[in-house]
Amino acid sequence: MKKLLFVYNARSGKARIKRYLSDIINIFIQSGYYVESYQTQSVCDAKKQIAGRGQHFDLIVVAGGDGTLNEGISGMMHLGRRIPIGYIPSGSTNDFATSLKLPKDMLQAAKLAVDGNPAYVDIGGFNRSNFVYIAAFGAFTDVSYSTPQDLKNLLGHSAYIIEALKQFGNIMTSYHFRIERENGQIIEDDFIYGMVTNSVSAGGFKGITGRNIILDDGLFEVTLLKKPKNPLELQDMISSIITQKKCKNIISFKASKLKFYSEEKVKWVLDGEYGGCLKKVIIRNYKCAVKVMTGLDISRKDKVIDKVKMTLNLDK
């Protein structure tokens, strides 16, 4: 009989998963799996469990928010073989679930976790760590991990907005970076925000990460916001991000490898969790590193979904 490891974070989101646990496990069993379940006990526990036990299973399913997914896939990166991973999004935002066309309904997501369409996706390397869909610094990036879990459980995504309003006065804080691209180009300036992404949404907002996003092309979408000279420039920058129009203070491009150098330590966020306070960061793309069970329509290899291209190479 096939074996499935189910790792879940019972506190993520509004802790709704507790109500569906028996039904979720039953879905796995009915799909022909022997199931071992594990409730995470602390930060990085999902990574530890999957890295230590995952090689003995045919399928791994993770339930939780973006941070739990990050831990799960980080654990997968330590395994000696590629094992498919399913994902039941139960957090407050679940950005990467949007890219994978996973439903908010947990039971429907559980069915896709075992019977969905497998797709290879790129994974990011961040110094010695990994990220699934976003590495970012600057304005509001610490909202995701500084917002109390109890408040997130009570208010959901609205808790992030409340926390962001508290930090609005710090939006103009800038960081001086020297950025080296793989083609040798050097970018040096003061930035209030930067993100390296592989997702159709960030912070729950679709469309702000760029256009023609391909999850397995070996490239990230990079967006850098220069320090504005006045509030009018800031307003123009925000409008340009939302409408995807060009702006002189916004630098956007695709890249497979980047090096960030700063004179002072800068806080980074990886998939909504604290990623360290660093002066030097090397980001690289691991092309098609993980096979994920998705809700994507893969009847054609180059399927355009919501105007977002996702090339799915299932035989790599």
Q: Which residues are catalytic?
A: 273
As a whole number of angstroms, the distance between CA 297 and CA 294 comes to 9
Nearest alpha carbon to residue 213 among 310, 283, 94, 101? 310
Closest CA to 83 of 196, 181, 2, 137: 2
Helix (H, G, I), strand (E, B) or coil at 247: coil
β-pairing, 2-8 with 59-64?
A: parallel
Q: Is the CB of residue 296 less than 8 Å from the CB of residue 305? A: yes
The number of residues in the chain equals 316
Which pair of structure tokens corresponds to residue 37? 């379940």
Please give the Cα distance from 8 to 203 (Å, whole number): 22
SS3 (DSSP) at 161: helix
Let me know: does 192 contact 139? Beta carbons within 8 Å: yes
Residue 225, token pair as written in the block: 């916001």
Distance from C-alpha of 203 to C-alpha of 208, rounded to nearest angstrom: 9
Distances (CA, A) of 116 to 2, 36, 88, 293, 298: 16, 20, 12, 5, 10
* H/E element, 64: strand 59-64
Q: For the chain, report the end-to-end CA distance as a whole number of angstroms.
A: 26
